[in-house]
Structure 1
């Protein structure tokens, strides 16, 4: 039976490869977006954290989160802010198309619309603050938002490393917020709001101080990396929605940025340690995995959606990146 099924699948894929682009459009179905988690309560439910004490603000220690929480968080976008102070952790973290390993004394930032997923190993240590735009009176549309909260932008997607003194100072503030959250005092939310404002202000000082220490050339290179990621995100979104039909390449993206492909690759590799093509592949893989997990599209449909003219090549591309075929990945990870 297994051999018969494989033959049927191969027959279908071969027929798909011979279809013209117009014929393939008949197989094209509306795109299923990456899931959005709209509230802190919904995030707690999805991640297995129980119920937050308040729907707009929650402060807690990472080491006190239940062991039943997810080890792997699938790709998602949230609609709230989160600041995690890791004091000692083992976590593979993906934000956008950047994958990082988190260790000791660093800050991680999340904001509405940010694309991320993670896989933890062992117990995490540190503190986490979740809050909504309304609670903190944060307005991302305000003209001064980028300068007031630079860590809640694409430029702040990288982890902010801290020395021990800096980490201890922030930990003390976070602990004070946690004590207030779990107290029975009638004005505790007012106090937490004030402490949060101080917490954000201290982080801004640290962030601007550390970023301000970067040489002008390094700042310019970081700015190009952010522009590259923005253009890549926008292009892949258009590709998935059918507004584009050509797979992204470093040359194509360099043209959109108005620079040469060689210069783009040189800068991206200097800043991130990876060539521009690796960022493109990672972004493509994130979106492909999302469709495999969150849609009923057949593999051939997904291949066409991402600009692959040959399904066999798509399968080889996916397996090279993951060690699994698309169908194996879907069967193993789809809930």
Structure 2
């Protein structure tokens, strides 16, 4: 599975490479969607090595790993480098805005991590449906970004960073405050670290890459806790067993690889840590009621 970098992004959009692309303070840029379609309304399924925030109108479908989100109306979508995705425009006028940026740009002068934000967290909500008032407020920020990126103001990137923060918080305000953050305790903290460690092993991008931590015990050893402690914490927080969560993530990755790569089943089996293709077939059929080959054709 291909990873698209900034250089490939600009080549794909047939735009010159910006002067600040290799800046130590990170990279940021903003665009109108209608200026970048280049005759196509579908982009390649791939992982990117940058973040992206999009406001788009019309009916659109996004594929995140093995999940699909179809949105009718104006929405705001947050993409992060850990999750491969593709986008297709279904109907209506494809208009709006998007900005791209790297993590160093966001964190250079701000405290905290992007992964702490609900829209960029693993398993978080990446899509926000906007009311007319929400849309007007967010469009105003994108327009200020477009004006500022073209200016000669010496501190324009500091201002753009502030606008980026404003976009994020405008999206968060569309959700009830009680739904944004959990109040962590010991169980939620260890579950969060377990999930992060699990996600670090994905996405699988080449047949040579191999998923190695497949058991609750291997995660417990990496986290320096007893396996029973990990299992109790995960069960108390999620209602699921550690093994079930690992299996769900493996199935999700298997579906993505079967749908979006041309690797054969043996290559996918090996990359997901199965010693024999038959073991992978049995595992996949147990969780989906289909063989990998059959899933690929339905």
TM-score normalised to structure 2 length: 0.65
Q: CA deviation at 1:127?
A: 0.9
Asked if structure 2 preserves the Cα contact closer than 8 Å seen for 1:83 and 1:130, the reply is yes
Deviations 1:142-174 (CA, angstroms, capped at 9, x unpaired): 862359855443364532333221221110110
* Counterpart in the other structure of 2:94: 124
The answer on 1:173 being equivalent to 2:141 is yes
Asked if structure 2 preserves the Cα contact closer than 8 Å seen for 1:49 and 1:65, the reply is yes
Unaligned runs of at least 5 residues, structure 2:
22-26, 221-226, 285-289
* Counterpart in the other structure of 1:15: none
Unaligned runs of at least 5 residues, structure 1:
1-33, 269-274, 325-335
Q: CA deviation at 1:107?
A: 2.0
* Counterpart in the other structure of 2:24: none
* Counterpart in the other structure of 1:44: 10
* Counterpart in the other structure of 1:71: 42
The answer on 1:85 being equivalent to 2:55 is yes
Matches within 5 A, 1:7-26: none
The counterpart of 2:166, out of the listed 191, 195, 201, is 201
Report which of the two has the higher share of helix. Answer: 1
Q: CA deviation at 1:228?
A: 6.8
* Counterpart in the other structure of 2:254: 284
Matches within 5 A, 1:119-198: 119-122=87-90, 124-134=94-104, 136=105, 138-139=107-108, 144-145=112-113, 151-154=119-122, 156-181=124-149, 183=150, 185=151, 187=152, 190-191=155-156, 193-198=158-163
The answer on 1:35 being equivalent to 2:8 is no
Structure 2 counterpart SS, 1:129:
strand
Residue correspondences, number = 268
The counterpart of 2:33, out of the listed 52, 62, 68, is 62
Q: CA deviation at 1:118?
A: 1.1
TM-score normalised to structure 1 length: 0.59
Deviations 1:60-85 (CA, angstroms, capped at 9, x unpaired): 2213323434624122231x222111
Asked if structure 1 preserves the Cα contact closer than 8 Å seen for 2:265 and 2:292, the reply is no
Q: CA deviation at 1:175?
A: 1.7
* Counterpart in the other structure of 1:321: 295
The counterpart of 1:233, out of the listed 193, 199, 203, is 199
Deviations 1:234-278 (CA, angstroms, capped at 9, x unpaired): 46679974563x9x599999979514998787579xxxxxx9666
Structure 2 counterpart SS, 1:167:
helix
The answer on 1:258 being equivalent to 2:226 is no
Query: Equivalents in 2 of 1:179, 1:58: separation in Å?
Result: 12
Query: Equivalents in 2 of 1:157, 1:189: separation in Å?
Result: 35
